[in-house]
Chains A and B, each alone.
Chain A
Amino acid sequence: MPPPSDISAPAAHSTPARAGNPGDRAWGWGITIFGGSLLVVAGLILYELGRVAAPSWGQLGYFKFLFSSAWDPVQEKFGALPFIYGTLVTSGVALLIALPVSVGLALFLSEMGPRALRAPVAYSIEVLAAIPSVIYGLWGLFVMVPWLRSSVEPFLQKTLGFLPIFQGPPIGLGYLAAGVILALMILPTIASVTIEVLKTVPPSLKEGALALGATRWESIRISVLPYARPGIIGASLLGLGRALGETMAVTMVIGNSPEIHASLFAPGYSLPAVIANEFAEATGDVHVGALAALGLVLFGITLILNAIARILVEAVARGPKGSRA
């Protein structure tokens, strides 16, 4: 082969171009438009939600809407309190159960479990996350609820029945059932985010504790958990956001009764459940509007929770604060 010819080169190469050729600019603009379209989608979601809810604005005062417990579409009485209460109680129960289990799972998978068991357990968690919620509802309705009614609730009544939350007839369907099924459903979310957070803990922290003669648990308690705490809180908030918005499984086991009860055994209602049950057959614009307004409340709560959760998780991922240098 002849050496690269210097004579022919400039002719072929010297076409001057402004920095960034037209192809680059077109590509850059094209993908930016796609990226921006995500913001348009977000705007659209907010706008449509407001628009559908609008007919209820004039009819209901904000205060009355949020803090009245009367819900009677026929008489156009719309009070959101039973649903807000049911949503918060079931999600709270779910978090109370799921958080320790998830952290235990995450520690098992990242620190304590026998290595041979870690992969199958991790795989099970993935399966748990992939199961559609209507199947959880089906299982909850036909397997878990009867079990709660016949074993768990009588047991709780016998042992802890002096607490108002464990009083009343054990029906099965109710806040407790919804809380337990939600716990199962948000467990993969909390566990997987917690594992991610634990991975960001510098191994040197743990090794430092171990080198001082700490046991494995002590090294976790002293060095790993404090470091990961904001991230675990973030993971819990993400799970909580999931629980608040979960519809089908809750609708199928909560009992669907727009009342407020102190007992966890009593049937209740949640924000997503009432939307799911009444929206398709809503009796008029105001009813639709009131349901959409419930959706807006739900949207607002989950939005704030998710934003806080993301910020917390990322704060851990970014690394230690100055004090930990």
Chain B
Amino acid sequence: MNRLRWRKGVDRFWTVVSGVAVLAAVIPLASLLWLVISHGAPGLTAGFFTSLPTPVGEPGGGVGNAIVGTFFMVGIASLFALPVGIGAGIFLAEKGDGKLGSIVRFTAEVLSGVPSIVIGIVAYGLVVSHMKRFSALAGGVALALLMVPSLARSTEEFIRLVPSALREASLALGVPAWKTSLRVILRTAVGGIVTAVLLAVARAAGETAPLLFTALNNQYWNTDPFQPTASLTVQIYNYAISPYDDWHQKAWTAALVLLLLVGLLNLVARFLSRNRLQGAPR
């Protein structure tokens, strides 16, 4: 009887341990979110979204050019990454069971673990070292290289969610295989693919390291792909490591803006993937 009580005690002990683990993860998260919001919110004015950064000590100013720069470079990245990433994902889902498929899949898995700073060096080599200047294009290429592998894998997974019964149904109607893939399978998976794209875009928008020496930074508005360009993340970094209190304040506000942007993209992505394929035959 005593033995049983001991064993039950052990059981309870480990349950508590797992609860402590949860607290160890949730408390820092809560602290982080709360501080970004509470420190960031006071600086959140309309001007913060529309103005250029001001020098130290000068009031006002914002990160308008950095927001535009982030969108601009993520746009350039999507231009390269979406066709290749989605195309590779379709390949993996449709023809990925063979030898080439498993090689491509393994490559995608391993590439998605390559540190983003290393990808920055690659983009530097591909673009900056040839053009002899930092540019939005180089930043975009870096982000694209980061997006492709994960986009390929998530596209594959969303396409594979489409029940094979739909493929059978279409083929049994005498529809050729390629039309079946394009107009039945992909048509059904399109919501999932949009989700994958939004998640990839959200991740790219939050990247800093590969932009430090590809896009560099810029104190002014820029929409020339061949010029250095500001981004929200690099701006947060520069503000944060500066010794000035009013720049620290701007770092928090810019972080709040970035968090809202990334959070919004994630929310939309979740919403879309939840509504997809509900009730579809298995």
Contacts and interface: CB of A to CB of B under 8 A. Distances in A.
A/B: CB atoms within 8 Å of each other: yes
Nearest to B124: A52
Q: Is the interface of B mostly helix, strand, loop or mixed?
A: helix
Contacts of A32: 91, 95, 100
A49 B109 CA distance: 19
A143 interface: yes
Given A27-B181, A41-B145, A34 B117 contact: no
Interface stretch (A2-10, A101-109, A157-165): A101-109
A277 B125 CA distance: 17
A105 B11 contact: no
A278 to B, nearest CB: 9
A127 B115 CA distance: 21
A274 to B, nearest CB: 10
Contacts of A238: 113
Contact of B25 (A44, A187, A217): A187
Contacts of A245: 113-118
Interface in A211-246: 215-218, 220, 238, 241-242, 244-246
A39 interface: yes
A79 B25 CA distance: 37
Nearest to B206: A132
Interface in B89-129: 90-92, 94-96, 100-101, 103-104, 106-111, 113-122, 124-126, 129
A21 interface: yes
B11 A104 contact: no
Contact of A310 (B110, B118, B178, B240): B110
A167 interface: no
B206 A35 contact: no
Interface centre among A35, A38, A100, A272, by most chain B C-beta atoms within 10 angstroms, is A35
B109 A108 contact: no
B114 A38 contact: no
B266 interface: yes
Contact of A143 (B31, B134, B236, B262): B31
B111 A279 contact: no
Given A45-B122, A218-B7, A137 B237 contact: yes
A302 interface: yes
B259 interface: yes
Contact of A276 (B20, B33, B114, B212): B212
A113 to B, nearest CB: 7
Given A45-B111, A113-B18, A134 B208 contact: yes
B188 interface: no
Q: Is the interface of A mostly helix, strand, loop or mixed?
A: helix
B22 A244 contact: no
B26 interface: yes
Contacts of A74: none
A272 B25 contact: no
Interface in B52-92: 83-84, 87-88, 90-92
Interface in A1-47: 21, 23-24, 26-28, 30-39, 41-42, 44-45
B20 to A, nearest CB: 7
Interface residues of A, number: 88
Nearest to A30: B87
Interface stretch (B161-169, B219-227, B250-258, B272-280): B250-258
10 contacts: A39-B104, A101-B21, A104-B21, A131-B262, A191-B25, A217-B10, A247-B115, A248-B208, A252-B241, A292-B125
Interface of B: 7-8, 10-11, 13-15, 17-22, 24-26, 28-29, 31-33, 35-36, 83-84, 87-88, 90-92, 94-96, 100-101, 103-104, 106-111, 113-122, 124-126, 129, 134, 145, 148-149, 152, 176-179, 181-182, 202, 205-209, 212-213, 216, 233, 236-237, 240-241, 248, 251-252, 255, 258-259, 262-263, 266
Interface of A: 21, 23-24, 26-28, 30-39, 41-42, 44-45, 48-49, 51-52, 100-105, 107-108, 112-113, 117, 121, 124-125, 127-128, 130-139, 141-144, 184, 187, 191, 215-218, 220, 238, 241-242, 244-248, 252, 272, 275-276, 279-280, 291-292, 295, 298-299, 302-303, 305-307, 309-310
